[in-house]
Amino acid sequence: MTDPNRRVRVAAAHAASPLLDKNACVDKACALIADAAADGARFLVFPESFIPGFPMWNALVRPIDGHDWFVRMARNSLRVDGPEMKAIADAAARHGVTVSLGFSELSPVSDGALWNSTVLIGADGRLLNHHRKLVPTFYEKLTWNAGDAAGLRVVETPIGRIGGLICGENGNPLSRYMLMAQNEELHAANYPPVWPFKNPVGAPPFDLADAIRTRAAAHAFEAKVFVVVSAGYLDDAGYEMLAEGDAEREAILRASPRSTSMIVTPSGEVLGTPLTDEEGLVVADVDLGSLLELKQHHDMAGYYNRMDIYRLQVDRRRPQPVYFDGADSLAANDGPAPAPADLTESDTPALAAVGTNG
């Protein structure tokens, strides 16, 4: 049960990625962790695909012209057990901050397979959860694979029970309900800097900031949680790199509405100062002890549900490209091949080993 007197300071990074430069992204992530800690924050959320940046070029160039972009993206994506992730885990442990990090993940078995992923890193540097976005949205399919449910988990931490979803997943009713049903208290939501859906030049653009706030408020209200929204920011270097001197591309990017970062309460109130047009940290104190009373009103995973009528069944097995049987196959592959298994059985030890204290 939630401690009635528990308060925690949380933060959302509204930050530009040094686009397609994973080392610079890691350095910036570590610096932002230090900044959040200096402000007293114990939980920090990063934007979608903060490392190495969001693949916006998919909206701007023809697929037949996008191969070089993909190669650069793949070469700057991270493996979960790689040195870049360890550097961020070490920073989290050094500053005592729990971190939700958005990144482009490189498959351990293929240099051309990527996922849009997040990891939750504990304040001791241990990787607590690893989620891959279930469905790449629209032109994201040109970069990322479909994910799985292994990381759709709420993790018990010293500061609260933390879950999270990536971008459009925050509008997926079943994914959100799955987190509600695990007694989520803090929800991390992350987004890209801009989202060109249709050509905004000369037409009313899609209001991305309003859509983000609507999604955040809906989940905060229905789940009775605090939602920490972190969105990317596109700086001048990013505009120039993506436009490549093409005036039409730059006009589309400049006309596309910016994303926004904010912290939202179960009543829909926005805490702190939301950021849209400049980089920085959105910081606020939240009272997790206030959540219990709200569940007397609507408890979607408790009494305000009819579990005798509805049933949600989720397969958490993480798919593998190949499954080996027999001693000869195992010997030929230098050890046991990963079998289809729950995250608690297969992924957690590997994740924990990345952390300082793991």
Rounded to whole angstroms, the Cα distance separating 292 from 282 reads 25
Q: Is 133 a catalytic residue?
A: yes
Rounded to whole angstroms, the Cα distance separating 196 from 205 reads 9
Rounded to whole angstroms, the Cα distance separating 333 from 246 reads 49
Beta bridge partners of 12: 45, 282
Catalytic residue among 22, 25, 28, 48: 48
- Encoding tokens for residue 310? 């509805």
- Residue 172 φ then ψ, to 5°: -90, 110
Beta bridge partners of 271: 263
- Orientation angle between helical segments 208-223 and 173-180, nearest 10 degrees: 40
Q: What is the rounded end-to-end Cα distance, in angstroms, of the chain?
A: 28
Catalytic residue among 133, 140, 185, 295: 133
Tokens 């729950």 belong to: 342
- Residue 22 φ then ψ, to 5°: -65, -35
Please count the other Cβ atoms lying within 10 Å of the Cβ belonging to residue 134. Answer: 19
In b/e form, how buried is each residue of 85-103, taking b as 16+ CB within 10 angstroms? Answer: bbbbbbbbbebebbbbbbb
Q: Is 48 a catalytic residue?
A: yes
Q: Is 167 a catalytic residue?
A: yes
Q: Where are the alpha helices (DSSP H) in 244-295?
A: 247-255, 291-294
Report yes or no: 35 and 12 within 8 Å, Cβ to Cβ: no
**Long-range interactions of 314-323: CB distance < 8 A, separation 24+:** 314/149, 314/152, 314/178, 315/149, 316/148, 316/149, 316/150, 316/152, 316/342, 316/343, 317/148, 317/150, 317/341, 317/342, 318/148, 318/150, 318/343, 318/346, 318/347, 319/148, 321/109, 321/110
Catalytic residue among 22, 86, 167, 184: 167
User: Which residues are known to be catalytic?
Assistant: 48, 133, 167
